[in-house]
Amino acid sequence: MLTQAADTLKGGEFLIKDSDYTKVFIPEEFNEEQLMIRQMASDFLNNEIDPIRDRIEKQEPGLSPALLKKMGELGLLGAHMPAEYGGMELDTNTNTIISEVFGALGSFSVPFAAHTGIGMLPVLYFGTDEQKSRFLPGMIAGDIKAAYCLTEPGAGSDALNSKTRADLSADGNHYLINGQKMWISNSGFADVFIVFAKIDGEKFTGFIVDAKSPGISLGEEEDKLGIKGSSTRQVFFENVQVPAENVLGAVGKGHLIAFNALNIGRYKLGVMCMGGNKVVLKMAATYAAERQQFGQPIGNFGAIKHKLAEMAIRNFATESATYRTSQLMQDKKNAEAAAGGTYGQSMLEAAEEYAIECSILKVLGSEVTDFCVDENVQIHGGIGYSEEYPAARAYRDSRINRIYEGTNEINRLLMIDQLFKRALKGELDIVSPAWAVQKELASMPSMERLEGPYAEETRAVADFKKIILMTAGGAAKMQMDGKLNLKEEQEIIMNCADMMIDLFAAESMLLRVRKLSEMQEKAQPREVYDAMLQVFLHDATARITKNATDGIASFAEGDLQKTFLMGLKRYNKYPAVNVKEKRRLIADAVLKAGGWCF
C-alpha cells in the first residue's frame, strides 16, 4: 500500500510514504559546532536569565530590551538571518537547538520568540530590499525591537475579519491607519510594529509602522495568568500616518504574510515547549529523589515512576518529531537555494511546505508541556501549589502555549485542511493509498509477517497509516457523495488530526530508535529507548483506535460501518506490552540522572 522509503518527504507525505531511518536527523548527531552554540545559549540562560527571573517577572522597566540587546551582541537574534544584514545564517537544526535551549527562558521566551519570529520574519520574507536594509540590521543587533499586530477584539482565529483600516492620502504619500489591536507581545517596548489593516476597508495588507508614530497609544499591561514577565498590551491607532513605502508585501496580500509567518512560529513554539519540558522533568526528578515519605524517596514508588516515565516518553516523541522536521525543512531550504531562491525565499518555501508538520509540533509540544507541568505540580504536592516554588510558575506559564500561534483547535483543523488541499492540487496522492486500503479490506488478511529488528513496531506504524487513510478517506468519500459536509463536522476532523499527530510522533520515534540501535555511543542502553518506543506505541494504538471508532461511528452506518470497524480490528494488532516494567526502567534512568538523560 505504501511506497518505498523516501529520502526526503514532501509536507504531509509521511501519511502515504515510508521513511528511511538512516536518512533522518536525530539530536545524537549534533556536530561540534552545534554543541558549542548550544553551550553558548545555555551560558546565556544560566548567567543572564536565571539570576534575575524575579526582576523579569515584575517587568522591570528597560530590562527586556536590554536583554534582547545582549542577545543581539552574541548573534542570537540573527542566527536565522542572512549574513548580508548581520545575521549568522545558521542551518535549521542549529536554530532549532537555540530555540530548544531558550524554551527554558520562562517569561522571557516570549519577547525573544516574538521578536525573532513573527517580528522579523515578515520583513525577511516579504520586505523589499530597501526595507530589509533599513530594518533587519537593527533587529538583528537588538537595536530595533519588533512586535506583531494581528489580533483584534473581533478578529482572533478569524484574522481576516480585521476592522483596522488604512486609507491612502490624496497625494499618495502615506496611509492613515485607524483601529485597535490586542494581546500584542512586546508592545510595551517595541520600536516597530508589523501591522495588518484593510486598505479602504477591503484589501488586507501588511505595514511596517514606527511604534513612536503620533496617534499610537497603548493600553495598560494585561494582568495575565502566566508569562507575567512579558509585555502584553492593546495598541490603538488613530490617524497614524505610515509612509506608502512601508507597505509590506503586495497590497491585498497580507494574509500571505500573516499565515506564513505563523508557520515557523508554530514550529518554534513546539520546539521551545520541548526544551522547557526537559527543565520541568529535571525539577520533578530532583524533587522525587529528595522528598522522603514512608521512610524512602517518593521516586521509589510506582505511581511517581509512572509520572516521570510518561513525561520522558512524551517529550522523547516530541524531540524525535522535531528534529526529523527540522532536517526536512533544511533539505527543502537547500533545494530552493540550489534552484536560485534567495535566503528568505528558501526559508519561506520550507516553512510553507511543512505547514502540516509545523501545526503537529505546535499541538504536540504544547500539550506535552501541559501534561508535564501538571504532573510536576502533582509530584511536588502542596509545595507545587505554592508560588514560592518554580513548579507553580511553570504551570501558569504553560497554559498560553495552547492558545497563541493559532489555538490547538485551529491547528488541528488546519492539518486536515492542508492535507486535503494538497491532495486536490495533486501535490499528494492520497486517493491511491486510500483505495488500496479499501481493496485490502475486501480481501483475506495476509499471513505474511515482517521479520527482523523492530518488525512489530514497523508493522504497527504502517497499520496506523492504514487506519487514518481508511477513516479520513471514508469521510472524504461521504463528502464527495454529498452525504457529509466536513466543514460542519469538526469533531471528525479532530479525530483524524489526533491520529495524524500520534502517527507522526510514533514513526519519528521508531526512525530514531532504529538509528540509535546501530550507533556505538548513546546516552542510555538500547533497552531504555526500546521501552519508550514500545510504551508509546502501546498507548498510541489505544488512542488511534478510539479516535477512529469515534470518527467512523459519526459518519458511517450499517454495513459500511461494520466494514470499517472490522478493518480497524484488523489494523490495531500491536502486541500487549508490560508497560509497568518498561516505565519503571525509564523512570529509573531519569532518577539516576536527575532529569532528562536521552
Q: pLDDT digits over 443-482, tens only?
A: 877 777 778 899 999 999 999 999 999 999 999 989 989 9
Q: What is the DSSP string of 163-196?
A: --EEEE-TTSSEEEEEEEEEEEETTTT-SEEEEE
CB 339 within 8 A of CB 527: no
CB 415 within 8 A of CB 357: no
d(CA 464, CA 549) in angstroms, rounded, equals 13
* Secondary structure element (H or E) that encloses residue 35, with its range: helix 32-44
Q: Low-confidence residues of the chain, pLDDT below 50?
A: 1-6
d(CA 72, CA 358) in angstroms, rounded, equals 26
Residue 322 lies in a domain: yes
pLDDT at 156: 82
* Same domain assignment for residues 245 and 361: no
Closest CA to 355 of 416, 415, 277: 415
* Same domain assignment for residues 348 and 295: yes
The answer for residues whose C-beta is within 8 angstroms of residue 502's C-beta and 6 or more apart is 464, 540, 543, 544
* Same domain assignment for residues 103 and 160: no
Q: How many domains does the chain have?
A: 4
The answer for residues whose C-beta is within 8 angstroms of residue 565's C-beta and 6 or more apart is 549, 552
Mean pLDDT of the chain: 95
A 10 A CB-CB count for 158 gives: 10
Query: Which of 119, 146, 173 is where one domain is finished?
Result: 146
- In this structure, the strands spanning 232-243 and 216-218 are antiparallel
A 10 A CB-CB count for 28 gives: 14
Domain housing 494: 428-593
d(CA 265, CA 144) in angstroms, rounded, equals 20
pLDDT at 327: 97
Residue 421 lies in a domain: no
Q: pLDDT digits over 409-424, tens only?
A: 999 999 999 999 999 9
Q: What is the CA radius of gyration of the chain?
A: 25
The answer for residues whose C-beta is within 8 angstroms of residue 384's C-beta and 6 or more apart is 376, 377, 378, 391, 392, 395
Residue 13 lies in a domain: no
For Cα atoms 80, 84, 85, give the angle at the middle one, nearest 5 degrees: 65
Q: Which residue has the cell 481508511?
A: 470
* Same domain assignment for residues 509 and 589: yes
- In this structure, the strands spanning 146-149 and 192-199 are parallel
Closest CA to 117 of 150, 84, 165, 70: 150
Phi then psi dihedrals of residue 82, to 5 deg? -65, 145
Strand blocks (E) in 126-170: 146-149, 165-168
For Cα atoms 231, 236, 241, give the angle at the middle one, nearest 5 degrees: 120
Q: Residue length, the chain?
A: 598
Closest CA to 319 of 22, 25, 109: 25
Which residues lie across from 179 on neighbouring strands? Answer: 237
Residue 423 lies in a domain: no
Query: Which of 342, 375, 410 is where one domain is finished?
Result: 410
Q: What is the DSSP string of 394-448?
A: HHHHHGGGGTSSS-HHHHHHHHHHHHHHHHHTTSS--HHHHHHHHHHHTSPPP--
CB 308 within 8 A of CB 582: no
* Same domain assignment for residues 355 and 432: no
CATH number of the domain that 340 lies in?
1.20.140.10
Our measurement of the distance from residue 269's CA atom to the centroid of its chain's CA atoms, rounded to an integer in Å, reads 5
CB 363 within 8 A of CB 291: no
Query: Which of 382, 410, 438 is where one domain is finished?
Result: 410
* Same domain assignment for residues 228 and 274: no
For Cα atoms 390, 391, 394, give the angle at the middle one, nearest 5 degrees: 85
pLDDT at 448: 74
* Same domain assignment for residues 173 and 131: no
* Same domain assignment for residues 405 and 453: no
User: What's the grid cell of residue 205?
Assistant: 495588507
* Same domain assignment for residues 37 and 49: yes
CATH number of the domain that 173 lies in?
2.40.110.10
Residue 20 lies in a domain: no
CATH number of the domain that 134 lies in?
1.10.540.10
pLDDT at 7: 58
Active site residue 405: yes
Q: pLDDT digits over 353-385, tens only?
A: 999 999 999 999 999 999 999 999 999 999 999
Residue 55 identity (one-letter amino acid): R
d(CA 132, CA 146) in angstroms, rounded, equals 14
d(CA 516, CA 568) in angstroms, rounded, equals 31
For helices 408-424 and 455-480, angle between their N-to-C axes, nearest 10 degrees: 80
pLDDT at 1: 42
Find the catalytic residue in 357, 405, 457, 507: 405
* Same domain assignment for residues 319 and 343: yes
SS3 at position 225: coil
pLDDT at 416: 96
Residue 10 lies in a domain: no
d(CA 310, CA 301) in angstroms, rounded, equals 14
Closest CA to 79 of 144, 143, 141, 146: 141
Rounded-to-5 percentages of helix, strand, coil across the chain: 65, 10, 25
Residue 422 lies in a domain: no
* Same domain assignment for residues 158 and 304: no
Residue 165 lies in a domain: yes
* Same domain assignment for residues 359 and 310: yes
Q: What is the largest CA-CA distance in the chain?
A: 82
